Amino acid sequence: MAMVCLSDFEAYAKKYLPKIAWDYFAAGADDCTTRDENILAYKRIRFRPQMLRDVSVVDIRTKILGSEISFPVGIAPTGFHQLAWPDGEKSTARAARAMNTCYIASTYSTCTLEEISAAAPGGLRWFQLYIHRNRAASQQLVQRAEALGFQGLVLTTDVPYTGKRRDDVRNGFRLPPHMKVKNLEQAFEVCKMSPLDPSVTWNDIYWLRSLTRLPIIIKGILTREDAELAVRHGVQGIIVSNHGGRQLDEGPATIDALVEVVEAVRGRVEVYVDGGIRKGSDVLKALALGAKCVFIGRPALWGLAYKGEEGLQDVLRILQDEFRLSMALAGCASVSEIGQHLVQFSKL
């Protein structure tokens, strides 16, 4: 089967993954309105391409927090990669390093931070943190990540409680016995009483800053008000995210929320976006609306399900090629030339 676009990988993963694993990765909250809207919202944005520009050489490199990446697509934090491929997050880390981009490793990895780090030494990696009721465990994770050379700390803010994902409830989802949430104490099991701390507030940003010298990126921001609070609390980056539509259903699509957040921060911190990116042209739209970089979640898992590290590289390579082509066709020879003049919202 020729793998030409990301939907080919999606079809493969749906066909060959065990149903319980596919349902877990695909799940959105409640009616899945927000999950689906993340994709549909990109289709309402139209290009305003610029003609007769010299695009004989197209430079797609960019920098995030000072680190150069080969193109503005990174890998978002998602849990339980061993459900997709036996080597799990080790394969993810190797693919990201091979493609010279950023991988955000999840607290809920099925490989340890040490295993992820050893699998791809020298790769650009950030660590995604959930603050747990056991603050000592969270503190230890942050300090382990920094000691291992992770270069950013991504605090997820939109999970005081886990959203209701109906298929997971129907399936009684839990990890198979041979898989563990490796970064947390052995006794930890998903689907028992949530270890997440629902009392976390903005003041906990100061607590995190007292633990680490790593830049703090805050994930889950969807409004102007929260973007302004994030800047006020000294974060270095914001990921506009609705958790792939897995938390509060019927919130905004992330590409729609991006505009509001970018306007609010006025260039004071870098802004990224995840959710709904399925084509290189989606990446171009996100950058035109002010994102510095996008992060992909489910498509990375589809790539792993196809051929592990090699499959994920294929996914990233397709996005890279599509992004380069979209830039050229829109009249941009470098990422710095991408701006809001390139897009308009469809009146349909």
* Active site positions, annotated: 243
Rounded CA-CA distance 214/332 in Å is 33
297 in a labelled binding site? yes
Closest C-alpha among 147, 93, 165, 155 to residue 125: 93
Q: Within the chain, where are the H helices?
A: 6-16, 19-26, 33-43, 89-98, 113-119, 135-147, 166-171, 203-211, 224-232, 254-265, 280-288, 298-330
Tell me if residue 125 falls in helix, strand or coil. strand
219 in a labelled binding site? yes
DSSP classification of residue 140: H
174 in a labelled binding site? no
| 101: CB partners within 8 A, 6+ apart | 69, 70, 71, 73, 74, 75, 124, 316
144 in a labelled binding site? no
- Tokens representing 80 are 């339980």
276 in a labelled binding site? yes
241 in a labelled binding site? yes
275 in a labelled binding site? yes
Tell me if residue 135 falls in helix, strand or coil. helix
46 in a labelled binding site? no
277 in a labelled binding site? yes
298 in a labelled binding site? yes
Are 99 and 70 spatial neighbours (Cβ–Cβ below 8 Å)?
Answer: yes
77 in a labelled binding site? yes
Number of helices and strands in the chain (H, E) = 12, 12
Residues making up the annotated binding site for glyoxylate are: 24, 165, 243, 246
Residues making up the annotated binding site for FMN are: 77-79, 106, 128, 130, 156, 219, 241, 274-278, 297-298
